[in-house]
Chains A and B, each alone.
Chain A
Amino acid sequence: MHNTLTRVQNVFGFFTSVAFAVAAAIAMSVLLSPQTPSASLELRNVQVVKGRPHYYSTKREEYAHVKFDLDADLTSLFSWNTKQLFLYITASYPSSDPTIIPPSEAVIWDAIIPSDYAPLHPNTYIHPTSKTAPKPKKSAKGKGKKEVGKPYPAGASPGIVRLDNQKPKYQITDVSGKIAERENATLTLHWNVQPWVGALVWTNTKTVGRWQGLQGGEAKFAFPPLKGTEVKKDDLKTETGGERNRGSPA
């Protein structure tokens, strides 16, 4: 500590140790905040039609278009160390030989739900406003400015998701190109809790310490037979997030 340079090195060196210790304490502190996630996920409609993987493809595959209702309360997943929640719904169906081949799983919808403290990002999910709810009044000051939507319903807090007859983000198919008339399929809600510091936490269905497992968030269904041109193209639209319509077949 005898001269300036040594003191700079010593202070900075000990600062890194303190920063690491504080970060570790923050990462561990999330274990203290109780979690009681619950969700009700229901299938609204599923249709299977022929489609192309992309516009110029000559290949014709079967695509399933799954609409669903979701009513989830995941507010307890937002602790002080939660940066954002990545929420996604998969459709899974057993393989031809379940003893050898694991079931197939495909994501039909996802959303990034940021905490109130997270900085704005163009990919951020914006919760649809319900048709019955009154529209926010336009203030004279904010004219010309676009109303910035919230990732949760008006008056709620992060983690509340109320989706009614929600379009999927992605139409799904199987590697074989055949997805019609498959039995024992399941819609499942999953999430990743992305912290500011610490470990990424995946969906827990079992109770661990103060963290309760997810209640509900599953729906059984079966893929219907293939439909032809009687299905309107309007009914097969996908939801586009902030990241545009990635993954939707032409």
Chain B
Amino acid sequence: MDQLLEQARTVYEGEIDFEGQRLAELLTYALLSISGVVAFLAGFVTQDIYQTLYIGLGGTALTFLAVVPPWPFFNQHPQPWLRAKTGPGALQGFNIEVDGQKVS
């Protein structure tokens, strides 16, 4: 049961790593800005404001699709976290000395 909930939480939260976060932010700004510029120019050239509306909304939808789900390319650089300090396997492989005495 706990495992199932854990899986549900992973899907729901859709966390990505630090490099992925940087990429996601870059994508957001780049895609939305480009779609805004393209939408304006397309509408201005064709003299049809509906082009602007639909290209702008389409670009936004595309951005949502590209950025929001935790795609695998956002998780290419997993962080090598330190091991847990409590529980089984805690403080394994560390040399901790207190006042010259080895405690672990």
Instruction: Mark A residues whose CB is within 8 Å of B.
Output: 1-5, 7-8, 10-11, 14-15, 18-19, 21-22, 25-26, 29, 79-81, 117, 196
- Interface pairs (17), CB distance under 8 Å: A1-B25, A1-B28, A2-B21, A3-B14, A4-B14, A4-B68, A7-B14, A7-B24, A10-B28, A11-B32, A11-B68, A15-B63, A19-B56, A22-B40, A26-B49, A117-B48, A196-B49
Residues in B with CB closer than 8 Å to A11 are 28, 32, 60, 63-64, 67-68
Residues in B with CB closer than 8 Å to A21 are 36
Is B43 touching A14 in the complex (CB atoms < 8 A)?
A: no
Residues in A with CB closer than 8 Å to B67 are 7, 10-11
How many angstroms from the CA of A196 to the CA of B44 in the assembled complex?
13
Is A14 touching B28 in the complex (CB atoms < 8 A)?
A: yes
Residues in B with CB closer than 8 Å to A4 are 12-14, 68-70
Residues in B with CB closer than 8 Å to A19 are 36, 56
Residues in B with CB closer than 8 Å to A25 are 40
* B28: min CB distance to chain A, Å: 5
Number of B residues contacting the other chain (C-beta, 8 Å)?
32
* A5: min CB distance to chain B, Å: 8
Residues in B with CB closer than 8 Å to A5 are 13
* A192: min CB distance to chain B, Å: 18
How many angstroms from the CA of A7 to the CA of B67 in the assembled complex?
7
Where chain B touches its partner, the secondary structure class is helix
How many angstroms from the CA of A4 to the CA of B68 in the assembled complex?
6
Is A8 touching B49 in the complex (CB atoms < 8 A)?
A: no
Q: Given A4-B13, A4-B14, A80-B49, do A15 and B60 touch, yes or no (CB 8 Å)? A: yes
Residue of A nearest to B13 (CB): A3
* B57: min CB distance to chain A, Å: 9
Q: Does B95 contact A (CB under 8 A)?
A: no
0/1 string, B5-31, CB within 8 A of A gives 1? 000000011111000110011001100
Is B70 touching A1 in the complex (CB atoms < 8 A)?
A: no
Is A18 touching B36 in the complex (CB atoms < 8 A)?
A: yes
Residues in A with CB closer than 8 Å to B21 are 1-2
Beyond A11-B63, A80-B44, 16 additional contacts (C-beta under 8 Å) are A4-B12, A4-B14, A7-B28, A10-B28, A11-B32, A11-B64, A14-B28, A14-B29, A15-B63, A18-B32, A18-B36, A18-B60, A22-B52, A26-B40, A80-B49, A117-B48
